[in-house]
Structure 1
Amino acid sequence: MNQGHDLSHITYEGSGNHASTQVVIAVSKWNTQITEALFQGALRVLEEAGIPASQIIRWDVPGTYELPTAAKMAMVNRPNIDGVICLGCVIQGETRHFDFICQAAAQGIMQVSLDHAKPVIFGVLTPDTDQQALDRAGGKYGNKGEEAAVAFLDMVDVHRMAKS
């Protein structure tokens, strides 16, 4: 296995107690086979870290473009959440549509995080092919949903440390 591409061996090693952590996971309905695998990977990591299932809130959204709006809605309407994990997959096609969607999603997700000073994690795959997406959604390069969940947990710890 090429360790240069598989970061899923990284596990949450923080010492934070996450029994009270609340998270919204926004999941794109586009490329469902991929995004469902990403969600399952993220869910496993969050539950292993001690977050009760009742505090992991899943929101399905039409596509990756809608992830920043869902993240903003979560921050505004659920002020007690600790953050959002955005999961999506945009596969390169024959037009520049790919570029516009990926850029808008990345910038939008980052903006929501900056505006609210809470973690909003970019768990969006941007592969060239279906096979590359599968390889990163539980395939030979691990599960990027797991990596997104580890990043979320680490950033929740940083957020709590910054507030203390």
Structure 2
Amino acid sequence: MATTLKSLSEYSSKNILDISAKKFAIVVSEWNEDVTEALYSGAYQTLLQHGAKKENIIRKNVPGSFELSLGAQWCAQEDTIDAVICLGCVIQGETRHFDFICDAVAQGITNVSLKFNKPVIFGVLTPNTQQQALDRAGGKHGNKGDEAAITAIKMLGF
């Protein structure tokens, strides 16, 4: 469903398991920090709201969205980590750089998930403008960080 028709912070509460003993890593891109910090806040609060313990939520920063895949891999290889949430924002520019970065990040995060057989969640915004990013990072369309966290929780209950 198109984001313009749905808030990213609305989700079904079906199949929510007890996550009080689960450990989460949240890998956050420092690029577009105003957006990624809002995404992190949404993901962190959603995990707490559903029972995660503060000490079981680990944050790792990477310079940009391209580095999310390797950051996720370093976290996912830890046996104590149950799920990894990747948060970033790549805003369309004037060159094809956007296309290459978005494709690499999506493929990289997918590959890490499959390699370690655990949820590695794609919480990366790919908007055309800064305003569209802000609208999806706690603005009028909710917060993609909320969605990424609830996706991790639901995948752990699969």
Instruction: Give the TM-score, by structure 2 length.
Output: 0.95
Verify the 8 A CA contact 1:12 1:49 in the aligned structure 2. Answer: no
Please give the residue correspondences for 1:47-126 in structure 2 after superposition, counting only pairs within 5 Å. 47-76=48-77, 78-126=78-126
* Amino acid aligned to 1:13: K
Structure 1 partner of 2:145: 145
- CA apart distance, 1:80: 1.5
Verify the 8 A CA contact 1:25 1:59 in the aligned structure 2. Answer: yes
- Indicate whether 1:8 and 2:9 are aligned: yes
Distance 1:139 1:152, change over 3 A: same
Whole-Å Cα distance in 2 between the matches of residues 117 and 72 of structure 1?
Answer: 11
Deviations, residues 101-133 of structure 1 (Å, cap 9, x unaligned): 100000000000011110000000000000000
Whole-Å Cα distance in 2 between the matches of residues 15 and 122 of structure 1?
Answer: 19
Specify the SS of the correspondent of 2:45. Answer: helix
Structure 2 partner of 1:41: 42
Specify the SS of the correspondent of 1:67. Answer: helix
RMSD: 1.3
* Corresponding pairs, count: 156
Aligned-residue sequence identity (percent) comes to 53
Whole-Å Cα distance in 2 between the matches of residues 147 and 15 of structure 1?
Answer: 13
- CA apart distance, 1:15: 4.1
Deviations, residues 1-30 of structure 1 (Å, cap 9, x unaligned): x76242311154334111111010000000
For structure 2, the 5+ residue unaligned runs are: none
Verify the 8 A CA contact 1:11 1:150 in the aligned structure 2. Answer: no
Specify the SS of the correspondent of 2:5. Answer: coil
Instruction: Give the TM-score, by structure 1 length.
Output: 0.91
Runs of 4+ aligned residues of structure 1 deviating over 3 Å after TM superposition are none
Whole-Å Cα distance in 1 between the matches of residues 146 and 54 of structure 2?
Answer: 16
* Amino acid aligned to 1:87: L
Whole-Å Cα distance in 2 between the matches of residues 129 and 3 of structure 1?
Answer: 15
Whole-Å Cα distance in 2 between the matches of residues 103 and 37 of structure 1?
Answer: 23
